[in-house]
Structure 1
Amino acid sequence: MRVGVFILLKVRDVSLISRIVSMKNAFDQWTSASLGEVTMVVVSSVIIYAVILAYTRFSGLRSFSKMSASDFAMTVAVGSLFASTISSSNPSLVIGIVALACLFLGQFLLALLRQRLDGFSKFVDNEPLLLMAGGRMIDENLRKANVTRGDVCAKLREANAFRRDQVLAVVFETTGDISVLHSQDQEGEIDQEIVSDVIDSELLFADTRSTEPTSLGR
């Protein structure tokens, strides 16, 4: 009986020691790197960074503009590809450069199609959505955009809008940004062309001045 207990304790000790050694090896691998690996990261970083700058000069100022949902996706994709290429041997440096070229070329072609084909933007991008018409919040559109009244009030504060009667419109843009159009002039008006592509923009040109309290609180 004693021999059996002794053997069981020894097995447990060996298992515990094995786990400790395994954890130590994993930690050492995580916190160390060979000279070759460090050199690979440095060289890859310089080359990929130079390639991105060259592609940006070629494709123009819109490369990282975030003017549309596709532009935002482009920015995220380039950042992810940059990180994976410089920190790992898979994908290879050449594959990373080719993939970046495809991303920039795709964005360039999308921008060209937007200019040449009427309605193409509506096909590839979401439409901006009106959240406030004058001082009145549009609850139905807030629900569509998954935005709360508190979110809108925070954006009004960022835009230095002190009262609701200063607000002309609040628009949820295709990139996820919220634009606040406001004026100190009580009789200020919005040019219809500026909001022509905004869903429910016709509410801005009806009698939309709110009778709700003019403070920004709920």
Structure 2
Amino acid sequence: MLEDVFFDGWAGLARTLVVGVMAYVVLIVFLRISGKRTLSKMNAFDLIVTVALGSTLATVLLSKDVALAEGALAFAVLIGLQFIVTWSSVRARWVRRLVTGEPRLLYYQGRLLPQALLGARVTVDEIEAAVRSSGMANLAQAASVILETDGSFSVIKRQDGQIATVPVGVAGPQDE
């Protein structure tokens, strides 16, 4: 009984090896056909697809109840849906907004935007950390801080004597 925990026979190992190699090859072929965008990290939706593909691969490898053909179909469904959503988001703004959201201005011309911070669930400490990560000593050196659709921060450095402008497509202070 205890030996089943450590070793359940050669057949299980052979299945994992054969199905693992084949599932990996199928996944690589599908990813090459679908293009680079499938595994991009452009937004949360892309991350979800990447995690789902990994989870599907693990299930195909380790579950005797899932056949390779079923796993290949699951890969195709996930990649196909990713293709449809990204294709649609490039062509229809409402789909893009639904899937990715919009960048959010959190700090602008020397002031934090409290409503934007609350709405994005971002703390002042996180804003300050983003500014430091951008090579600036403090918020005073930043013209603006934007929370991008992928969850990263963009920090725009203040130019001496220059008034910062809100980048195109970013929800600005007038939207608060």
TM-score, normalising length: structure 2: 0.85
| C-alpha separation in 1, matches of 2:54 and 2:71 | 12
Report the alpha carbon displacement of residue 122 of structure 1 after superposing the two structures with TM.
1.2
Q: 5+ residue gaps in structure 1?
A: 1-24, 204-218
Residue 136 of structure 2 corresponds to which residue in structure 1? 161
The one-letter code matched in structure 2 to 1:53 is I
Determine the structure 1 residue equivalent to 2:60.
85
What amino acid is the match of 1:154? A
Separation in structure 1 between the aligned mates of residue 164 and residue 41 of structure 2, nearest angstrom: 24
The whole-number CA distance in structure 2 between the counterparts of 1:114 and 1:33 is 48
Aligned residue number for residue 145 of structure 1:
120
Which of 84, 87, 93 is equivalent to 1:109? Answer: 84
After TM superposition, the runs of 4+ consecutive aligned structure 1 residues lying more than 6 A away are none
Count the aligned residue pairs. Answer: 175
The 1-side partners of 2:163 and 2:62 are apart by: 52
Distance 1:78 1:67 in 2: 16
- SS of structure 2 residue aligned to 1:130: strand
1:42 aligns with 2:17: yes
Deviation of the 1:102 alpha carbon: 0.9
Residue 116 of structure 1 deviates from its aligned partner by 2.4
* TM-score normalised by L of structure 1: 0.70
Against the structure 1 CA distance between its residues 33 and 186, is the aligned structure 2 distance closer, same or farther, given a 3 Å change threshold? farther
Q: Is the 8 A contact 1:68 1:175 kept in 2?
A: yes
Identity %: 28
Give the structure with higher Rg (CA): 1
Q: Specify which of 200, 213, 216 is matched with residue 172 of structure 2.
A: 200
Amino acid paired to 1:62? R
Query: Structure 2: where are the runs of 5+ without partners?
Result: none
Q: Tell me the equivalent position of 1:216.
A: none
Matched, 1:186 2:176: no
* 3-state secondary structure, aligned to 1:85: helix
1:137-182 Cα deviation digits (max 9, x unpaired):
2222211122211122222222222232321222222222222232
Amino acid at match of 1:73: I
Shift of 1:96: 0.9
How far off is 1:78 after superposition? 0.8
CA RMSD of aligned residues (A): 2.3
